[in-house]
C-alpha cells in the first residue's frame, strides 16, 4: 500500500509535511461524493463502509479532522455515523452550522428561506419541472434535485434561471451542484469555513478533499493558506459529472472508493512513521 504522488510541487510538499508533522495537520473532507457514494435519493446517502474506521484511526494521529458539507451538520453526522470519530468537527450548511462533541449549534434561518419554501412548489409546477424533480428541505436552505428525472441535465437547465430569480428575490443565493440547485443564505462558503477552522486550530498543513463545485471555494482557501505559509494538498474525488475540480486538484482519486484507499494509505504511512 503506497501513497499516490501529487502532481504538483505544492501538493507534494504538503504531503511530506503532513507525514513529518501530523499533529499540525488538518484533514478536511466534503461528505456527499467524497466520503459517501452518490446515490439517487439523498436520504439514502451513507458513508463509504471503510471511511469511518479509517477516520477513527487517523483522528488519533493528526491535529484535526473536519467535515465541511452542504448538508445540515447533524444530518451529515447521522448519515455518516461520524459521531464514532473522536474529536471530529462537522461544519454544515457550507459553514453556517457546527457539530462538535455531540453539540449542534445553528443560527436562525433567514426569512427568505420560509418564503422560498412556500413559493418553490408553485414555481416548479409553473415551469413544468419533470417527474422525479424533488425538493430537499434542509431547514436553512432548499435544494432542488433532478437526478431522479428521465433527463437530469435538461431538467436542471430548464429550472436554473427561474430558481436563480426566485433566490434573488428573497435575498438567497444559488449553489449549483451534482444534479442539484440549492437556494441558500448568502455570506458563507466552504472556503471561509475551512480558512476559519484552520486558523482556529493553528494547523501548518491542510488536506482538503471534495468532489463538487461547492468545493472550489475550499480549494481557493487552500491556495490562500499556502500564501500564509500553510502547506496545502487538494484532492478531487473524481467522477464523470464534474470536471472543474479535477483540473484544479493536486491529486485525483477514483471517487469515494479512492478516498477510502487514500485514507488507508495515509493511516499506514503515519503508523510506519511511528
Ligand atoms: O457538500 P456535500 O456534503 O457534498 O453536499 C452537497 C449536496 O449533497 C447532496 O446531494 C448530492 O448527493 C446526493 C446523494 O448521493 C445525490 O442524490 C445528489 O444528486 C447530489 O447532488 C445533498 O442532498 C445536498 O443537500 C448537498 O448540498
Query: Is residue 2 domain-resident?
Result: no
- Residue 126 burial (CB count, 10 A): 10
pLDDT on residue 274: 62
Number of domains forming the structure of the chain: 2
pLDDT on residue 272: 87
Query: Is residue 70 domain-resident?
Result: yes
Model pLDDT for residues 99-145, shown as the tens digit of each residue: 999 999 999 988 999 999 999 999 999 999 999 999 999 999 999 99
Cα(84)–Cα(86) distance, integer angstroms: 6
For residues 194 and 266, membership in a common domain is answered with yes
How many Å lie between the centroid of ligand 1 and the Cα of residue 71?
Answer: 7
pLDDT on residue 234: 98
Ligand 1 atom, smallest distance to 147 CA: 19
CB of 48 shorter than 6 A to ligand 1: no
Query: Is residue 134 domain-resident?
Result: yes
**What ipTM does the predicted assembly reach?**
0.99
Picking from 148, 163, 184, the residue at the C-terminal end of a domain is 184
For residues 94 and 196, membership in a common domain is answered with yes
**Positions of the chain with pLDDT under 70:** 274
pLDDT on residue 1: 73
Tell me the best of 46, 69, 70, 245 to mutate to test the pocket of ligand 1, counting ligand atoms within 8 Å of each CB and taking the most.
Answer: 70
pLDDT on residue 140: 95
What is the domain extent for residue 149?
Answer: 111-184
CB of 255 shorter than 6 A to ligand 1: no
Ligand 1 atom, smallest distance to 37 CA: 15
CATH value at residue 200: 3.40.50.1000
For residues 74 and 138, membership in a common domain is answered with no
Picking from 167, 184, 201, the residue at the C-terminal end of a domain is 184
CATH value at residue 175: 3.30.70.1020
Q: What is the pTM of this model?
A: 0.97
For residues 156 and 32, membership in a common domain is answered with no
Picking from 142, 157, 184, the residue at the C-terminal end of a domain is 184
Model pLDDT for residues 141-170, shown as the tens digit of each residue: 999 999 999 999 999 999 999 999 999 999
CB of 219 shorter than 6 A to ligand 1: no
For residues 93 and 149, membership in a common domain is answered with no
- Closest residue to atom 27 of ligand 1, CA basis: 70
For residues 61 and 195, membership in a common domain is answered with yes
Amino acid at each position: 500500500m503506497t501513497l499516490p504522488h501529487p502532481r504538483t510541487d505544492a501538493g507534494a510538499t504538503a504531503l511530506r509535511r503532513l507525514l513529518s508533522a501530523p499533529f499540525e495537520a488538518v484533514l478536511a473532507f466534503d461528505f456527499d461524493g467524497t466520503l459517501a457514494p452518490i446515490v439517487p435519493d439523498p436520504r439514502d446517502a451513507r458513508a463509504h463502509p471503510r471511511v469511518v474506521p479509517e477516520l477513527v484511526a487517523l483522528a488519533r494521529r493528526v491535529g484535526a479532522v473536519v467535515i465541511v458539507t452542504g448538508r445540515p451538520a447533524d444530518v451529515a453526522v447521522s448519515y455518516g455515523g461520524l459521531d464514532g470519530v473522536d474529536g471530529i468537527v462537522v461544519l454544515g450548511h457550507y459553514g453556517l452550522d457546527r457539530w462538535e462533541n455531540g453539540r449542534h449549534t445553528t443560527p436562525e434561518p433567514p426569512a427568505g428561506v420560509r418564503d422560498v419554501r412556500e413559493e418553490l412548489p408553485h414555481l416548479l409546477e409553473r415551469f413544468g419541472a419533470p417527474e422525479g424533480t424533488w425538493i430537499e428541505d434542509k431547514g436553512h436552505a432548499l435544494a432542488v434535485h433532478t437526478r431522479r428525472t428521465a433527463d437530469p441535465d435538461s431538467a436542471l437547465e430548464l429550472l436554473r434561471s427561474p430558481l436563480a430569480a426566485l433566490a434573488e428575490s428573497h435575498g438567497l443565493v444559488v449553489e449549483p451542484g451534482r444534479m442539484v440547485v440549492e437556494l441558500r443564505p448568502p455570506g458563507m462558503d466552504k472556503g471561509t469555513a475551512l480558512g476559519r477552522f484552520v486558523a482556529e486550530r493553528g494547523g501548518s498543513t491542510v488536506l482538503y478533499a471534495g468532489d463538487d463545485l461547492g468545493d472550489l471555494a475550499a480549494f481557493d482557501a487552500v491556495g490562500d493558506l499556502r500564501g500564509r505559509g500553510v502547506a496545502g494538498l487538494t484532492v478531487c474525488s473524481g467522477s464523470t459529472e464534474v470536471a472543474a475540480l479535477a483540473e484544479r486538484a493536486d491529486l485525483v482519486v477514483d471517487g469515494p472508493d479512492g478516498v477510502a484507499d487514500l485514507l488507508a494509505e495515509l493511516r499506514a504511512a503515519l503508523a510506519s512513521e511511528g
